[in-house]
């Protein structure tokens, strides 16, 4: 008896990328990638959202003029786009911010 393989024998799935995140539902959860693996967090509770809002206001007051305070931006951490995180708040200079336009 002989064994023949036809095609790829690697059973490991390909790492997910930011493009794969476009197919995730808009259900209030936070979908992030960690080294190509999907990481799902539940929607924040009220107290968490309150603290985030107050911190955002404080950072807006304290941030230098050339910076912006942004809530929930998606950030790609590598060129393969397999490590994508969504921090609650970011203080970033306007020139370093990415634009979809």
pLDDT tens for the chain, 101 residues long, are 555 556 666 677 889 999 999 999 999 899 999 999 999 999 889 999 999 999 999 999 999 999 999 998 888 999 999 999 999 999 999 887 765 43
Query: Which residue intervals of the chain are DSSP H helices?
Result: 18-21, 46-62
- This model's pTM is above 0.75: no
Q: Is-contact 33 18, C-beta < 8 A? A: yes
* CA dist., res. 33 & res. 19, Å (int): 11
Instruction: Pull the structure tokens for residue 87.
Output: 């921090």
Q: What is the pLDDT of residue 7?
A: 63
């Amino acid at each position: 008896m002989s064994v023949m393989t036809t095609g790829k024998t690697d059973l490991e799935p390909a790492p997910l990328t930011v493009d794969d995140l476009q197919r995730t539902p808009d259900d209030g959860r936070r979908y992030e990638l960690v080294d190509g693996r999907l990481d799902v967090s539940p929607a924040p509770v009220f107290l968490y959202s309150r603290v985030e809002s107050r911190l955002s206001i404080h950072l807006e007051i304290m941030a230098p003029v050339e910076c912006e305070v942004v809530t929930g931006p998606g950030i790609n951490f590598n060129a393969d786009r397999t490590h994508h995180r969504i921090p609650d708040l970011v203080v970033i200079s306007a020139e370093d911010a990415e634009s979809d336009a």
